[in-house]
Amino acid sequence: MRNDNKKSVIVGVFVLVGIIIFIAAVLTMGGQQKKFVRSIKLNAVFDDIGGLQTGNNVWFSGVKIGTVRKINFYGESQVEIVMAVEDKAKDYIRKDSKATIGSDGLIGNKIIVIYGGTTSAPPVEDGDRLIAVMPLDTDKMMETLQENNKNLVTITENLKVLTTKIADGKGIVGAVMTDSVIAQNFKNTLYNLEAASAKSNKMMGDISSFTGGLNQKGTLLYDITNDKETFGKFKSTVDGLEATAENAKVLTNNLNSVTNKLNDKNNPAGMLLNDEEFANNLKSTMVNVDSATLNLNKGLEALPYTWPFRRGFKKKAKAEAKAAEND
């Protein structure tokens, strides 16, 4: 009888411990699932929840504030997430806040992350719908990462080939790095470029000094640009030069006109200068006139000795001799 009572006590103790453990587990799980905390319901509609499940946590500013209660299909192909959020957190979540799907760690469980919101918007209320923002697709990220890894391998192989060629002295870079003559020539080229740059800087400095000197008081440029009287005289001189140039242009045009007329055979001057036949005729005429003049002179010289005029010339000679005596 005593043994039976002992066994009953032991069984009762084990049952009591089991009940206590069960209650503790229920309380613990309920605390984690926010079963015994006053809460409000918020929802969001996503195109794809990426493996999110009922019971996953809801976080706000790094603090767990609730869990996912329901997952329902919405519309044609969307999914509605119903969240149970602690009532005390509703004052910090605004109606313009956003909800997105994240991960608890790099490869952890999916979670809902509530973020954003402005103080100008009122706090959320039970049944409000938050703006859903689609998260980055990890599968696409992994595909992109794999593609980047392939590209990195290709770049590494190309760099290996390039460095090998450079080390073997192939190409311009390899030749410069391995051939001392080419390296020296390259160095000389750089030195010449540096010298040319220094000369260019000096020349620019000289030009700057020259232009600065032109604008100093007392110079012609300064007087022209600043002295109204000098500027007026300079303008008058320029106007005079323009007038002279215009007169020279007119004179040149007149000379061209005269030259054209002299080159034209249809006028006397042009005929004299350009018509060879007329010139020969004129020359013959002048020769004939000269010959006729010579003959006329000879005839006049012989005229006093001619019989009809001899007496008259003698009387004239006596009168001249008498007049000379009287003087």
At residue 106, the pLDDT reads 63
Q: If DSSP codes are grouped into helix, strand and coil, which group holds residue 248? A: helix
pTM, rounded to two decimals: 0.38
List CB contacts of 69: < 8 A, sequence separation 6 or more.
41, 54, 82, 83, 84
For residue 57, the cross-strand partners are: 67
At residue 121, the pLDDT reads 92
At residue 258, the pLDDT reads 66
Helix axes 171-178, 138-167, angle to 10 degrees: 50
Cα–Cα distance for residue pair 314/173, rounded to 1 Å: 125
What radius of gyration do the chain's Cα atoms show? 63
Residue 24: both structure tokens together:
């503790």
At residue 28, the pLDDT reads 61
At residue 301, the pLDDT reads 64
For 149-294, list the strands marked E by DSSP: none
Average pLDDT by consecutive 10-residue portion of the chain (327 residues)? 65 75 64 65 92 91 92 92 92 93 79 91 93 77 81 85 71 63 74 85 78 65 64 72 79 74 62 64 71 68 60 67 72
Cα–Cα distance for residue pair 181/162, rounded to 1 Å: 22
